[in-house]
Amino acid sequence: MKKIAVFASGGGTDFQSVIDANEQNPFCEIACLVASKEGIGAIERAKRHKIPFVVYAKKDYPSLEELYASLGDFLEREGVEYIVLAGYLTILTEPFVKRFEDKIINSHPSLIPAFCGEGYYGLKVHRAVIEYGAKLSGCTVHFVNAEPDGGAILMQEAVAVLPTDTPEQLQERILQVEHRMLPQAVRALVEGRVHKNGRIISIEE
């Protein structure tokens, strides 16, 4: 089974969604969790499920370039083929993205190209959607390229914005979709069912 690494910066609920789907009906080996700092909730989840983890923290490296060069070497040594960003907040360097071209996916809590790119993360996304008065938002799983949220799109699903929604409530409903969509995307990827032609992606059933 193909090896994947999951990158996380926080509580790790996206990470958990991949763990759960993979335990129920295995499709990959989660070779390791890469945490962006010590003490985050995702690390506890890795321990609980006996998944190896490493911490690659900005503060331990003179530059992000050196961090990602070292992390890239580590992942190659481990035989990791795919990388899943699961609530990972550090922007990857361009050489790292090139090194793992078409191998890194991320999920974003809006319907890209709306409400995405620099500055749109966490609750800010949902606050912007609500202030705009959009009636639909949703979730997008996409490949990672050098442009924030700019890579080719694997999957999207819409979620209704309710007139009474707070950013927190909208976030919660979109997270539920994300926790279903992200493992499906990982599964399709590792099973070789994702076909990419420029920006156009088709996924075999």
Q: Which positions are catalytic?
A: 108
E-only strand ranges, 86-135: 104-108
Residues in the chain: 205
DSSP β-bridge partners for residue 29: 3
Measured in Å, how far apart are the chain's first and last C-alpha atoms?
19
Q: Going by DSSP bridges, is the β-strand pair 136-143/104-108 parallel, antiparallel, or unpaired?
A: antiparallel
Minimum CB separation of residue 199 from its own copies in Å reads: 4
State which of residues 41, 134, 167, 184 lies at the interface with its own copies (CB under 8 A).
Answer: 134
With contacts defined by CB under 8 A, name the span among 17-25, 47-55, 134-142, 171-179 that binds its own copies.
134-142
> Is residue 135 a contact point for its own copies (CB under 8 A)?
yes
**122 close to 156: Cβ distance less than 8 angstroms:** no
Residue with tokens 């994702």: 194
# binding residues, its own copies (CB under 8 A) = 27
Could you tell me the sign of the dihedral formed by the alpha carbons of 156, 177, 51, 94, in that order?
positive
With contacts defined by CB under 8 A, name the span among 4-12, 26-34, 82-90, 135-143 that binds its own copies.
135-143
**Closer residue to its own copies (CB): 10 or 138:** 138
Q: Using CB under 8 A, which residues numbered 93 to 112 contact its own copies?
A: 111-112
State which of residues 113, 176, 180, 193 lies at the interface with its own copies (CB under 8 A).
Answer: 113
Q: CB neighbours of 63 closer than 8 A, spacing ≥ 6?
A: none
Minimum CB separation of residue 138 from its own copies in Å reads: 7
* Site residues, its own copies (CB under 8 A): 111-115, 130-136, 138, 140, 152-158, 163, 198-202
